[in-house]
Amino acid sequence: MRKIEHVGIAVKNLKTSNLLFEKLFGNPPYKEEEVASEGVKTSFFMNGPNKIELLEATNENSPIAKFIEKKGEGIHHIAFDVEDIILEIERLKKEGFTILNEIPKKGADNKLVAFLHPKGTNGVLIELCQEIQ
């Protein structure tokens, strides 16, 4: 893992949260995108070298809707940039981590993504991200 790629925050209303974070950072989101396969709408903010992803559920069965129902709005995941997501998945499996999706899938912001089960990472959902070439 090379660096923190972004921090994901689950929100009930993307439009309202975009306004809040725009005031906080002094800039609008640089990108908004829907990932239909995950049932989520996202927006991305830059703050210096740091990236924040806001996530709103688009249906009641999405992982974000379930997260908000259980825990409320807040930090949902921490994403790490990796050079080779396949090699990183294999390395982490050998280390005993449970991978939620062993075959990377297309995520937001032009990334291939895979997730580690939070039961093995002190309750924190970890996302691996590789830039799609």
Apex CA 119: angle with CA 116 and CA 121, to 5°?
Answer: 60
Helix or strand (DSSP H, E) at 20 = helix 14-25
For residue range 37-89, what is the model confidence (pLDDT) as tens digits?
899 999 999 999 999 999 999 999 999 999 999 999 999 999 999 999 999 99
Confidence of residue 1 (pLDDT cuts 50, 70, 90): confident
pTM over 0.75, yes/no: yes
What does pLDDT average to over the chain?
Answer: 96
**How high is the pLDDT of residue 122?**
95
Across 110-131, average pLDDT: 96
Q: Which residues make Cβ contacts (< 8 Å) with residue 94, sequence separation at least 6?
A: none
Neighbours of 47 (CB within 10 A): 12
98 pLDDT more than 90 = yes
**Strand-strand pairing, 3-11 and 50-57:** parallel
**How high is the pLDDT of residue 128?**
98
